[in-house]
Structure 1
Amino acid sequence: MTDQLYHHIQKLVPGFTTEQEKIAPFFQTKTVKKEELLLTEREICDTIYFVNKGCLYLFYEDNEDKQVIHFALENWWITDYKTFPDGNPAVYSIAAMEDSEITCMSRENYETLLLQFPLLALYFNKIHERAYGAALYKQKTFATVSKNDFYRYFRSTYPELIQRIPAPIFASYMGVSLRTLRGFQHAYIS
């Protein structure tokens, strides 16, 4: 467990005062290389990931094309939330978008941690509420604005992130061709 994760927990749940050493055994920190797969579709999903440094992305394969649906940057958690709760085969894959340092926790450790330290259930509830709210907002935005306007919104809201995401991955996330994305980029610069 990293100090970064421990401080993130304390930031969201200020009343959490358990010593870091008591919860550290539930976590494992490691580095992953760009494009390294952490989870593949149909593999049992039994791990949740916290990004200390770098970026991960969630996607599924459709006719051999990656359909990107979510990113996780520093201080974000990611897993296949469809299958992590019940241990079914994953419907999504997770890969590193860039060289990253992540902290992982198995489903078994997650459940044990929440039973032993109930305030961490509040922490994860806050994490999941934020993630669900962001997913709903993306869905609304996709339904109510043009792809060009979504690109402008994303670029102005997340200027550092847009520079980190490779164009093919961002085009997939937006649901447009690489050519269309390049047109948005050119129009934005002009």
Structure 2
Amino acid sequence: MTQQLIAHIQQLLPGFTIRREQLSHFFETIAVKKDTVLLSEGATCDTIYFVNQGCLYLFYDYNDKREVIHFALENWWLTDYKTFCDSKPAVYAIAAMEDSEITCLSRANYEAMLLQFPVMALYFNKIHERAYGAALYKQKTFATTSKPDFYNYFRRTYPVLIQRIPDEIFASYIGVSPEVLRQLQAAFVS
């Protein structure tokens, strides 16, 4: 368990008093290389990931193409929330977009930790509320905004993130071909 994760918990739960040593055995921190697949579609989803450094992305394969639906940067959590709760086969996959350091929490350790430290349920509830809100906002924005307007919105709202995302992955995320993305990029510059 990293100091970064403790700081993130303290940010969302002011007055958090559980010592790091009491929680550390529930977590495992690992380094993963760019393009490492952490979860494959159809595999059992039994881990939730906290990004200390780097970037992960959530996707599914469709017609031999990765369809990207979400990113997780530093201080974000990511899993296949559809199947993490019931250990069914994953409907999404997770991969590292960059060399990354991540802290892993297995489903078994997640449940054991919540039983031993119920206040952590409040922390994860805040995480899940934010994630769900962001997913709903993206869905609305996607449905009500043209591709050029969505690109411009994303570019202005997340200028650092857009520099980190490879064009192929970002094109998939906004639902356009790489060629259309190049046109949007050119139009944004002019």
Q: Which position in structure 1 is the counterpart of 2:57?
A: 57
CA–CA distance in 2 between the matches of 1:157 and 1:119?
33
Residues 111-122 of structure 1: matches in 2 within 5 Å? 111-122=111-122
2:115 maps to 1:149: no
Residues 166-177 of structure 1: matches in 2 within 5 Å? 166-177=166-177
The alignment yields a C-alpha RMSD, in angstroms, of 0.5
Alpha-carbon offset, residue 63 of structure 1 = 1.1
Other structure's SS at 2:136 match: helix
Q: Which position in structure 1 is the counterpart of 2:5?
A: 5
1:75-131 Cα deviation digits (max 9, x unpaired): 000000000000001000000000000000100000011111111100000000000
CA–CA distance in 2 between the matches of 1:17 and 1:141?
39
1:117-160 Cα deviation digits (max 9, x unpaired): 11110000000000000000000001111010000000000000
2:76 maps to 1:70: no
CA–CA distance in 1 between the matches of 2:16 and 2:111?
18
CA–CA distance in 1 between the matches of 2:39 and 2:49?
11
CA–CA distance in 1 between the matches of 2:105 and 2:113?
10
Residues 124-135 of structure 1: matches in 2 within 5 Å? 124-135=124-135
CA–CA distance in 1 between the matches of 2:15 and 2:114?
15
2:38 maps to 1:38: yes
2:183 maps to 1:183: yes
Unaligned residue ranges in structure 1 (runs of 5+):
none
Alpha-carbon offset, residue 15 of structure 1 = 2.5
CA–CA distance in 2 between the matches of 1:94 and 1:143?
24
2:105 maps to 1:105: yes
CA–CA distance in 2 between the matches of 1:131 and 1:117?
22
Aligned-residue identity in percent:
71
1:35-70 Cα deviation digits (max 9, x unpaired): 000000000000000000000000000011000000
CA–CA distance in 2 between the matches of 1:83 and 1:2?
26
Q: Which letter does structure 2 place at the counterpart of 1:111?
A: E
2:21 maps to 1:21: yes
CA–CA distance in 1 between the matches of 2:101 and 2:15?
27
Unaligned residue ranges in structure 2 (runs of 5+):
none
Other structure's SS at 2:84 match: coil
Other structure's SS at 1:83 match: helix
